[in-house]
């Protein structure tokens, strides 16, 4: 059983599947996230895949300051993801609201709605930083798996 | 075929013990070749295995008991049908099938597509329904040339036993049939240019959109097994002889399956997704033409 738990922990580290949600972003961070999949950065060599359905995903990548219109969708999508899961806030918008802070049109920042695992600041952050942030989230995810398995 | 031998074929070679590692290997090869052709490095060797383990260990969303039953039952029956059809494949010259096993094989190969259609509609997700509709339309379309090609083989061999069908037919019939099968493989495996039913990002994940955790892992495994079965079927029909020794036969079978996978993957990586009307026109024109030619050749050659 211990060996299987170690295997699961390695597998979680090796195969993070991402779901990308634009919560009212200006598309800057979205372009940088998609750039991670391109031949120059190629995150598939780390096992990362961008999946189409939140039910398949391990990591929710949120861009944008969370407008009032996207809040319900954000919560629904987070609820649809199976455990263990992580949330990565890409860019300054989900972290603080950035230039939209204080606007009546936004419901964010993100941490008032969902538990955020990793913040990646920048407007927009570079692909290196996004990959670095997701790698940190993956490490936390794998450790989280270990912790819960120890408790059980 | 006695029970012990069928069990051996189902569970060991070319069944479970051979097929599951081979399924992961083929999924890896497919992703790796696609990545290399796009100028990327691509996933490392154990990637599909780790994907499977990770999905198995996820804690899925709680659903009603009925939902849980069909969500596990459908992929499991797809896997069972695929393993059974692998066990029927005439890999060895000595594996004496039974009269009419060709009909059973054709039936079993269609089960995964049927399960995917049912899963898509039962998930009640609009993307699942669109995917399932496309899957159903395409499977009706590709089955016309596919079955015609199989009929050509049966006419040429004057038999519906798989062992005869794999070994007897003449060269021209065999070449035409193998070409038709190779044209049918991409749509059966849902890869480009016929990746309409699971069109990623376009309709999310098609029939499997609502599946999570272990249930999705079962579908991933079923998809890998589809690669093994269909590449294996093409390999069995393409090879006009058997070595005779147990080891040689399985090695040759694996090698030819591997070549088939590489061919299909290169075509998938080099093309973009077609519209469904274009895909249907392609099958009814080119594959069907080739299959009809095979039937004519078989009738003249007998």
Which residues is B265 bridged to in the sheet?
none
- CA nearest neighbour of A97 among A113, A114, A110: A110
**Long-range contacts of B3-12, Cβ-Cβ distance < 8 Å, separation of 24 or more:** B5/B95, B6/B87, B9/B86, B9/B87, B9/B88, B9/B95, B10/B83, B10/B84, B10/B86, B10/B87
Distance between CA B180 and CA B174 in Å, rounded? 10
Q: Which residues of A touch B204 (CB under 8 A)?
A: 52-53
Distance between CA A142 and CA A150 in Å, rounded? 13
Question: Of A11, A45, A58, which is closest to B44 when you measure between CB atoms?
Answer: A45
What pLDDT is attached to residue B165? 81
Task: Tell me the ipTM for this assembly.
Answer: 0.89
Check: CB of residue B228 under 8 Å from CB of residue B78. no
What pLDDT is attached to residue A151? 39
Query: What average pLDDT does the segment B146-155 reach?
Result: 90
SS3 A64: coil
Instruction: Please calculate the CA angle B224-B226-B231 and round it to the nearest 5 degrees.
Output: 105
Check: CB of residue A63 under 8 Å from CB of residue A93. yes
Q: What are B70-87's pLDDT values in tens digits?
A: 999 999 999 999 998 888
Chain B residues with CB-CB distance to A under 8 A? 31, 35, 38-44, 46-47, 50-51, 53-54, 57-61, 127, 200-201, 203-205, 208-213, 216
Q: Give the DSSP letter string of B120-153.
A: HHHTT-HHHHHHHHHHHHHHHHHHHHHHHHHHHH
Q: Kindly give the residue spans of alpha helices, DSSP state H, lying in A1-152.
A: 2-14, 28-35, 68-80, 92-96, 127-151
Q: Which residues of A touch B203 (CB under 8 A)?
A: 52
Check: CB of residue A54 under 8 Å from CB of residue A19. yes
Confidence of residue B220 (pLDDT cuts 50, 70, 90): very high
Token couple for B254: 């694996």
What CATH number is given for A2-151 in this structure? 3.40.50.12280
- For residue A15, CA distances in Å to A21, A51, B226 come to 19, 12, 22
Best of B38, B58, B67 to substitute, by most chain A Cβ atoms within 10 angstroms, is B58
Higher local confidence (pLDDT), B138 or B204:
B138
Question: CB A47 to CB B50 under 8 A?
Answer: yes
Question: CB A53 to CB B205 under 8 A?
Answer: yes
Distance between CA B150 and CA B146 in Å, rounded? 6
A75 close contact with B: CB closer than 8 A: no
Q: Which residues of A touch B211 (CB under 8 A)?
A: 55-56
CB atoms within 10 A of CB B41: 13
What pLDDT is attached to residue A150? 40
Confidence of residue B23 (pLDDT cuts 50, 70, 90): very high
A145 close contact with B: CB closer than 8 A: yes
Low-confidence ranges of chain A (pLDDT < 70): 144-152
Q: Which of residues 88-117 of A touch B (CB under 8 A)?
A: none
Q: What are B73-129's pLDDT values in tens digits?
A: 999 999 999 998 888 888 876 655 666 688 888 899 999 999 999 999 998 889 999
User: Where is B258: in which H helix or E strand?
Assistant: helix B246-270
Domain assignments of chain A as residue spans, ordered by start = 2-151
Q: What percent of chain B has pLDDT over 90?
A: 38
Q: Which residues of B113-125 are buried (b: 16+ CB within 10 A; e: fewer)?
A: bbbbbbbbbbbeb
Query: Is B65 buried (19+), middle (13-18) or exposed (0-12) by CB count in 10 A?
Result: exposed
Mean pLDDT score of chain A: 88
Q: What are B222-237's pLDDT values in tens digits?
A: 999 999 999 999 998 8
Domain assignments of chain B as residue spans, ordered by start = 3-301
Report residue A136: phi and psi, to 5°: -65, -45
Query: Could you tell me which chain A residue has the CA closest to the CA of B44?
Result: A45
List strands edge to edge, sheet with A17-22. Answer: A49-50, A17-22, A59-63, A86-90, A118-120
Q: What are B237-293's pLDDT values in tens digits?
A: 888 877 777 788 888 889 999 999 999 999 999 988 888 888 899 888 888 999 999
């Amino acid at each position: 059983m211990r060996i299987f738990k170690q295997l699961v922990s390695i597998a979680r580290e090796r195969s993070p599947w991402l779901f990308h949600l634009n919560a009212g972003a200006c598309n800057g961070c979205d372009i940088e996230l998609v750039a991670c999949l391109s031949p120059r950065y190629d995150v598939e060599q780390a096992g990362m895949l961008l999946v189409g359905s939140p039910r398949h995903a391990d990591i929710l990548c949120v861009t944008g300051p969370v407008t009032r219109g996207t809040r319900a969708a954000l919560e629904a999508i987070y609820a649809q993801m199976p455990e263990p899961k992580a949330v990565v806030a890409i860019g300054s918008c989900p972290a603080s609201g950035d230039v939209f802070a204080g606007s009546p049109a936004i419901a964010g920042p993100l941490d008032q709605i969902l538990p955020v695992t990793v913040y990646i600041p920048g407007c927009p952050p570079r692909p290196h930083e996004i990959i670095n942030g997701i790698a940190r989230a993956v490490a936390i995810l794998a450790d989280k798996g270990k912790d819960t398995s120890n408790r059980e | 075929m006695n029970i012990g031998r069928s069990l051996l074929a189902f569970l060991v070679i070319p069944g479970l013990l051979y097929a599951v590692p081979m399924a992961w290997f083929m999924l890896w090869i497919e992703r790796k070749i696609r990545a290399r052709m796009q100028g990327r490095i691509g996933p490392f060797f154990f990637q599909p295995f780790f994907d499977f383990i990770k999905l198995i260990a996820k804690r899925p969303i709680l659903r009603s008991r009925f939902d849980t039953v069909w969500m596990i039952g459908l992929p499991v029956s797809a896997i069972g049908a695929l393993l059974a059809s692998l066990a029927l494949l005439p890999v060895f010259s000595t594996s004496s099938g039974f009269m009419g096993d060709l009909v059973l094989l054709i039936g079993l190969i269609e089960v995964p597509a049927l399960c995917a259609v049912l899963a898509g509609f039962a998930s009640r997700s609009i993307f699942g329904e669109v995917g399932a509709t496309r899957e159903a339309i395409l499977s009706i379309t590709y089955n016309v040339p596919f079955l015609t090609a199989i009929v050509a083989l049966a006419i040429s061999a004057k038999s519906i036993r798989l062992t005869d069908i794999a070994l007897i037919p003449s060269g021209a019939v065999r070449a035409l049939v193998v070409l038709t099968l190779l044209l049918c493989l991409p749509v059966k495996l849902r890869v480009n240019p016929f990746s309409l039913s699971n069109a990623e990002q376009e309709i999310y994940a098609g029939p499997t959109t609502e599946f999570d955790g272990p249930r999705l892992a079962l579908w991933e495994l079923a998809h890998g097994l589809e690669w093994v079965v269909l590449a294996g079927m093409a390999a069995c029909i393409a090879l006009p002889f058997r070595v005779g020794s147990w080891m040689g036969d399985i090695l040759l079978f694996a090698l030819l399956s591997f070549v088939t996978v590489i061919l299909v993957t290169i075509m998938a990586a080099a093309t973009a997704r077609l519209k469904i009307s274009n895909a249907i026109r392609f099958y009814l024109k080119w594959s069907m033409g080739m299959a009809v030619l095979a039937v004519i050749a078989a009738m003249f050659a007998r």
